[in-house]
Chain A
Amino acid sequence: MNASSDSEVKSVVRQFILEEFLYGEDPAALEDSTNLRAAGILDSIATVRVVAFLEERFGVEFEAHEMGAERLSSVSDLVALVMAKRGAH
């Protein structure tokens, strides 16, 4: 796994979540392991928006069962899923 790609993906994911769902908030509030659903950052609509962004930005596709809140629960989870899909191509 290319470390720079991993950090690049993380940077993009964090920026999107901060700008779209945590505007005006302290960026430090978003840790890699923050549970995005439990923290009220992502709901079902926000999850679709995140998935749509990731699919367009990174050229990957999420299946229906991969979009459950439990599978996309943190920045780390999102990064790991994107990297796994990119590595599969």
Chain B
Amino acid sequence: MRDDVASFARDELTPGAEARDRDSAFSSDLWRRCGTIQLQGLVIPTEYGGRGLDPVSAAIALEGLGFGCEDGGLAFALCAHMLACCVPVWKHGSEEMKRAWLPGLCDGSLIAANAMTEPSSGSDALSLETKAVRTAAGFRLSGHKTFVSNAPVAHVIIAYAAMPGSDDAPAEVTAFLIPRETPGVRIGDRMEKMSLRTCQMSDVRFEDAELPADSIIGQPGGGAQIFAESMDWERSLLGALHVGAMERILDRAVAFARARRAGGESIGRLQAVSHRIADMKIRLEAARLLTREAARSLNSRRSSGLPAAISKVFASEALVKSATDAVRTMGGAGILVGSGVERTLRDAVAATLYSGTNDIQRNIIARWLGL
């Protein structure tokens, strides 16, 4: 399965990646092609149109995607869609919501965006200001979300808002599924980024958007836990993409070090180079083990938070280091567009920031340790 996904990614998704990255272009055609093998629904049960993979199998498939797909933005967009949007609907949506939305979200016909971060609440995600008030027909949403991946191309938005409780009880975070065409939903201009340029990102504003009662995901007040759970899935399984990418750039580095000659011998014979590549291999295998353990923990009800944070920190920072090492190994050739490694390094930087920054992950780990 891993090899099948890798081959599909190499043959279908990588061609044109350089130009798409240069132009910050998202390919709807490639998105639909991914839907033909249900990449968007790897973990979603087959009864809802997904592939029904367990988390570890999904991690292995995503290693293949990371290995074969050199369009890091597209690979990330697929995972953000699946893990931050499809998983909450699958785990907490009503049966009607699941049957109405998951098939399209899995088959490539729909794109979802997760709207949590706000201009004044990023790492402190739950201090959001977007508000949802009850109306006779459902809810009215008002607020401003930022850094929303996939928003410019999304058909549906998963958004989190503070909803006042009854009888003057404090507001509780609640999750909503909102079709893009809902009046009052405003998608902002595409943001220009250094990383993951083919994954479109923008602000989203809700201007007294009227939502039907069945737009809620789960129950009022369930949003914080629904979001936290989706982040455990992201932190665990996005690391598998990084593992695949590390494997790819390791192969590039080894090939270059064997072929490039200096002083009458392959530079791979020089310890400064070989040790750097050996460290890339060490990081790759350690990240693979941590990521698969984090994926395995997703099967448990409450034990995924710590392994997810650990694997997220390690895999993302390993990818940055290994991509840097690959560039250094290739020297001047490494920074050329088309080298196969410079874009991986640029994309890797975002990995230390999304799904909760690595600073926050270290906070999470410390809290799990009782500190």
Query: Chain A interface (Cβ within 8 Å of chain B)?
Result: 20-21, 23, 43-46, 48-49, 51-52, 55, 61, 63-65, 67-71
Q: Are A64 and B302 in contact (CB under 8 A)?
A: no
Most buried by B among A55, A68, A69: A68
User: What are the 4 tightest A-B residue pairs by CB atom distance, in nearest-first order?
Assistant: A65-B222, A64-B222, A52-B302, A65-B219
Q: Are B367 and A45 in contact (CB under 8 A)?
A: yes
Decide: A70 near B169, CB < 8 A? Known: A20-B370, A49-B368, A65-B221: yes
Task: Please encode chain B, from 217 to 235, with 1 for each CB lying within 8 Å of some chain A CB and 0 for all others.
Answer: 0111111111011000000
Q: Are A44 and B228 in contact (CB under 8 A)?
A: yes
Task: Please encode chain B, from 286 to 317, with 1 for each CB lying within 8 Å of some chain A CB and 0 for all others.
Answer: 00000000000000011101000000000000
Q: Residue B221 contacts which of A43, A44, A45, A70 (CB distance < 8 angstroms)? A: A70
Alpha-carbon distance between A43 and B225 when the two chains are bound, in angstroms: 12
Task: Tell me whether B83 is interfacial, beta carbon within 8 Å.
Answer: no
Q: Are A64 and B225 in contact (CB under 8 A)?
A: yes
Chain B contacts for A68, CB-based, 8 A: 172-173, 221-222, 224-225
Q: Are B367 and A65 in contact (CB under 8 A)?
A: no
Q: Are B218 and A46 in contact (CB under 8 A)?
A: no
Chain A contacts for B226, CB-based, 8 A: 64
- 14 A-B pairs with C-beta separation under 8 A: A20-B370, A23-B370, A48-B228, A52-B301, A55-B301, A63-B218, A63-B222, A65-B172, A65-B219, A65-B220, A65-B221, A67-B225, A68-B225, A70-B172
Alpha-carbon distance between A68 and B164 when the two chains are bound, in angstroms: 13
B216 → chain A, closest Cβ, in Å? 10
**Total cross-chain contacts (CB, 8 A):** 59
Decide: A51 near B302, CB < 8 A? Known: A45-B368, A46-B367, A70-B172: yes
Decide: A45 near B302, CB < 8 A? Known: A65-B220, A67-B224: no
Q: Residue A64 contacts which of B92, B303, B370 (CB distance < 8 angstroms)? A: B92
Q: Are A63 and B301 in contact (CB under 8 A)?
A: no
Q: Residue A70 contacts which of B170, B223, B367, B370 (CB distance < 8 angstroms)? A: B170
Decide: A48 near B221, CB < 8 A? Known: A64-B92, A70-B170, A70-B172: no
Residue of B at shortest CB range from A45? B367
Alpha-carbon distance between A23 and B169 when the two chains are bound, in angstroms: 31
Most buried by A among B169, B218, B225, B229: B225
Alpha-carbon distance between A69 and B225 when the two chains are bound, in angstroms: 10
For the A-B complex with A44-B228, A63-B218 known, give 5 more contacts whose Cβ atoms are closer than 8 Å.
Answer: A44-B126, A48-B228, A64-B225, A65-B218, A67-B224
Q: Are A63 and B219 in contact (CB under 8 A)?
A: yes
Residue of A at shortest CB range from B218? A64
Alpha-carbon distance between A48 and B308 when the two chains are bound, in angstroms: 14
Task: Tell me whether B338 is interfacial, beta carbon within 8 Å.
Answer: no
Chain B contacts for A69, CB-based, 8 A: 224
A23 → chain B, closest Cβ, in Å? 7
Q: Are A71 and B302 in contact (CB under 8 A)?
A: no
Alpha-carbon distance between A61 and B370 when the two chains are bound, in angstroms: 23
B168 → chain A, closest Cβ, in Å? 11
Q: Residue B302 contacts which of A20, A21, A55 (CB distance < 8 angstroms)? A: A55
Task: Tell me whether B254 is interfacial, beta carbon within 8 Å.
Answer: no
Decide: A45 near B225, CB < 8 A? Known: A64-B92, A70-B170: no
Task: Tell me whether B191 is interfacial, beta carbon within 8 Å.
Answer: no
Alpha-carbon distance between A43 and B364 when the two chains are bound, in angstroms: 10
Q: Are B221 and A71 in contact (CB under 8 A)?
A: yes
Chain B contacts for A64, CB-based, 8 A: 92, 218-219, 222-226, 229
Alpha-carbon distance between A23 and B173 when the two chains are bound, in angstroms: 30
B123 → chain A, closest Cβ, in Å? 12
Residue of B at shortest CB range from A71? B221
Alpha-carbon distance between A51 and B301 when the two chains are bound, in angstroms: 10
Q: Are A44 and B302 in contact (CB under 8 A)?
A: no
Chain A contacts for B222, CB-based, 8 A: 63-65, 67-68
Task: Tell me whether B183 is interfacial, beta carbon within 8 Å.
Answer: no
Alpha-carbon distance between A23 and B370 when the two chains are bound, in angstroms: 9
Decide: A70 near B218, CB < 8 A? Known: A20-B370, A44-B126, A48-B302: no
